Structures are given as structure tokens and as C-alpha cells.
Chain A
Amino acid sequence: MEVNVVENVLKLNDEIAAMNRRRFQEAGVTVVNLIGSPGCGKTELLVQTFSQFHGRFGVIAGDLATTRDADRLIRAAHSANAVVQVNTGRGCHLDANQVRHAIDEIDLASLDVLVIENVGNLICPVGFDLGQDSVVGMFSLADGDDKPAKHPHLVHAADLLILNKVDLAPHVTFDKQLFYRDVGRLNDSAVVVETSASMGKIEPWLRWINCD
């Protein structure tokens, strides 16, 4: 006998994500799920955001291991109150339940913007709703111009795409026209901004979080 079901496999994750979303809304904090490959500059973008953003800012940093990201971010924030590290062990992405526990350690109402820095991975994190308002995808010039075409799920899901390390343009082969064409074909409503986080040039990102 066959029984029809038709429900999302990740239904439980989605239900916890909905609970997180309600908590974020009640606290009045805007939440971004930041997804990018290892080494594309996610943490450096957030380090710079702590020094340049005029609002109240917090980060949940996801990694398989170590507290190195949180240590860097706490130094940049000059406070441990607005940074939580989540170690996923063997998990290649954050899920809504890990975020639910992490937000118990942050005073959400004291923040304007909270960025959840996902595990460095362009594939698995995209399918797991964390309760965020927006998904931000991050690529860098050093990654190569073909990453949007090779990772369409992230491009489809993203509200904003950041192209980082644009200062490397003289040193790497990167066809920007191809990059923008592929992004446009996959998601013509996504906003794309260019940054150079290690040089402190993150103004388009700051403008976006101020408006979002």
C-alpha cells in the first residue's frame, strides 16, 4: 500500500528556522546568512564590518573546528558579547537547531544586524534555512570566474552576491563579463557588489546592510 506524503525532507529544520525567525523579528534584528567558499574572505569582511559599520553588529561564526574566527572577530569587536563560535565537528553546514542554541548566548535585542557566517562551503549550507532575512553569497577573484555557473544553488538562493578580493585583478585571470553573465542568467534579481575586504574597501556591502 502506498501512502502519499509530499513534504519537505528538511521539515523539522524549517520549523526550527521559523522559530528562530520569530525570535529575530521580536528582537528587531536583521539577520544575514553568509555563505562562501573557504578563504573567500568572509571573516575578514566581518572584521572590517565591526570597525566600519555604524550600527550594532553581531556574528555567529560556524566552522568545523577551532575558535580562530571568533578570536579574530572578538578582537575586532573589542567585546566577546556579540560573537558566538559554533563548531560543527564533521558537519559541513550550520542547521537551524545549532543557530537556535547559539542565539541563546547573544542578547539579540542589543543588535541591529546579526551575520551568521556559515561553514566555508558553497553547496550544503544553501539548503538549510536558519531563520535569516537574507542569504548572501560570497565569491572572490582568487576562486575563479566560473564559480556561479558551478554553484547555481547558491546563486539562485542569494539576495546579495559579494565579489571579494577585486584588488587582485592585476594578478589573476578572471573574466568579469563571464561572471556577471552567469549570475544574471541564474538570478537576475540578485544584487552584486564588489569589495576588497583586506584593503578595508567594503562600502557597497555596508550600504546594502544599511538599506536591507
Chain B
Amino acid sequence: MHELSIARALVDRLPALTPRGRRITTIHISVGPLQAIEPETMRMAWRAVTYRTGFSQIELDVRSLPYRWACAQCGNDWTSEETYSACACGNEQPDWVGGDELTIDSLEVEPKEFCHGS
């Protein structure tokens, strides 16, 4: 259940990431397949960790990324859902270049309210 640890890590980052005077509505994160994160489990963990906190209204958007490969022999690069993928040129040792991502990409925040006071 490392989704819970990751949800807690996200909560820990929120104070530093929240623009002054704004309220976050959505957090967008990206996860590569090597992180073994189930998006639905991740959202459930997020709801559990933020329950009855000031962050409970924030939506968590989880974007699943594929494995990315590059071939040093023919210059080809491609993505795959499989753990291992040979190059179409026949090279059986392509370079693995992505799949372990776990990043906060962006936040959506409510627009600033106009102040009508004097």
C-alpha cells in the first residue's frame, strides 16, 4: 500500500506549493509503470489521507505513463505497455529511457477573488 505513503508525501508538499492566498482545486501527477501505482487506489489513498483536513476538496488527477525505449542502433524511440520491448530493427538490447516517473506536474487553483473593499 505505498499509495498511502505517496499520498502523505503529496500532502506534505502542499503548503509549500500552494500559491499565496489561493485554493488548490486539482493536483495533476504523472506515474510511470515501474512505480506500480494503481490510479484508483492512489485516488482512494488521497481521499483517505485528506479526509477531514483542509485539503479534502482537492481532486487528484493521476496520469499513467508508458515505458519509453530508445534504440542506439537505428535511432528509433517508442513507448510500450510491456516491461520489455525489442526494437523493430532487431536490436534486442534497446535503452530503457523512461517508466519510473513519479512527479507533480501542475496544480489548478481557484482564480483570485476581487477585493471590493476600500
A78-86, A136-144, A148-156 - interface stretch: A148-156
Name the one of A8, A157, A185 contacting B84, with C-beta atoms under 8 angstroms: A185
Q: Does B96 contact A (CB under 8 A)?
A: yes
Total number of A residues with any Cβ neighbor in B under 8 Å: 33
Most B C-beta atoms less than 10 A away, residue of A9, A11, A91, A188: A9
Kindly state the interface size class of chain B when it binds its partner.
Answer: 20 to 34
**Inter-chain contact count A-B, CB under 8 Å?**
91
Most A C-beta atoms less than 10 A away, residue of B10, B92, B103, B111: B103
Chain B residues with Cβ below 8 Å from A9 are: 6, 9-10, 13, 29, 102-104
Chain B residues with Cβ below 8 Å from A6 are: 103-106
Chain A residues with Cβ below 8 Å from B100 are: 127, 153, 156-157
- CA–CA, A185 to B85, complex, Å? 9
Q: Does B87 contact A (CB under 8 A)?
A: no
Known: A7-B104, A153-B100. 15 other contacts (CB 8 A): A1-B111, A3-B107, A5-B104, A9-B29, A13-B9, A90-B1, A93-B2, A128-B5, A152-B34, A153-B34, A153-B36, A156-B99, A185-B93, A186-B84, A188-B93
Which B residues contact A (CB, under 8 angstroms)? Answer: 1-2, 5-6, 9-10, 12-13, 17, 19, 29, 34-36, 83-84, 92-93, 96, 99-100, 102-111
